[in-house]
Amino acid sequence: MSNTATRRGILALTLGIAIFSVQDVILKQLSGDYPLYQAMLLRSLAALPFHIAIVWWFDGRLSTITTPGWFRMLARGLLNFTAYTSYYLGLAYMPMADTVALFFTCPLFITLTAALFLKERVGLLTALAVAMGFAGVILIVKPEGGNVELAALLPIFGAVCYAISMVIARSMGRVETAAAMAFWGNVCFLLGALALTAIFASGQFAGASHPSIAFLTRGWMTPSLGDFWLMAGCGLISAIGITLLTYAYQTAPAAGIAPFEYSFMFWGVLWGWVFWGNLPDLLAWLGIAVIIGAGLLVSTQPAMTKAAPKGAA
């Protein structure tokens, strides 16, 4: 693979991640007034035609979304829906940089999951990197007296679900295309949002004081025109981001561009500071650095050339 292709891949990946970060800003900004399922529903509906176009563009035909494996792709989409629902609920309460860092423990969980279910061998260096990454988690969560803020567990749980979905994607990737899996992932987001709407839209479970719980259980709110377009715009953001990430990993070797995944941390810190005046404290900075270092070390191991975390959103 030429250096030019690698540079194109890096450019596409970093641009895609920057675009994806805007979606997180929008959802965090809306989390105080609207329910998450409402934003997810409008986002998924808006993204649907773009995902169909992406399948046609990358696969050259639409039949890749109707293969016999469509049900498995839908099941994997459910894991991604759970992963990102957990991530966004945590984002409603926690600073953006901390939430992003905790979610980016997913390479560590992918390592553990692959070792358990795919019987991949984990070397000493990788094992030390995983242990180091979880030490970084403790620095960010900062449990006092044995107590942990439950919202901090949400992005970690999301990382676990995402890790399982990525391990499943490894075996599915031999017969299914990335664009088709992304299409069914969006369908699952739509179905999941409809299910949550049926449960919570009436507002009978509203009234929670915790921002994360309120973001889930708040009743349906009629959005202003501007907020409506922000929610729908997340669909376009998601589709463009997925297109760029898919192109990046199709163009360049994964090992050469995967470390640039962590450019998302830059945006998490920047947007948290610009929009909410939040900057990590000293321990959180240290935890972020440790998680990034551990993730980079794990991702450069031969068995761990993986697809992008944000590419499955």
Asked whether 291 and 138 are in contact (CB, 8 A), the reply is no
Query: How far is it, in rounded angstroms, from Cα 239 to Cα 52?
Result: 10
pLDDT of residue 129: 87
Model pTM? 0.90
Residue 308 reports pLDDT greater than 50: no
At 297 the pLDDT is 84
Task: Quickly tell me which residue has 């915790």 as its tokens.
Answer: 210
Greater confidence (120 vs 132) lies with 132
pLDDT at residue 302, rounded to an integer:
61
pLDDT in tens, 246-299: 788 777 877 678 788 889 999 999 999 999 999 999 999 999 999 999 988 887
Q: What is the mean pLDDT of residues 147-167?
A: 88
DSSP 245-293: HHHHHHHS-HHHHGGGGGHHHHHHHHHHHHHH-----HHHHHHHHHHHH
Integer Cα distance of 209 and 219 in angstroms: 14
Range with the lowest mean pLDDT among 20-29, 101-110, 206-215? 101-110
Euclidean distance between CA atoms 62 and 71, whole angstroms = 16
Q: Which residue has the higher pLDDT, 303 or 195?
A: 195
The HSE-up count of residue 162 (CA atoms within 13 Å, CB side) is 27
Instruction: Output the six-digit token pair for 133.
Output: 């990454």
Q: Which residue segment(s) compose the domain that 247 sits in?
A: 3-312
pLDDT digits 0-9 by tens, 192-208: 999 999 999 999 999 99
Number of domains present in the structure of the chain: 1
For residues 143-165, average pLDDT: 85
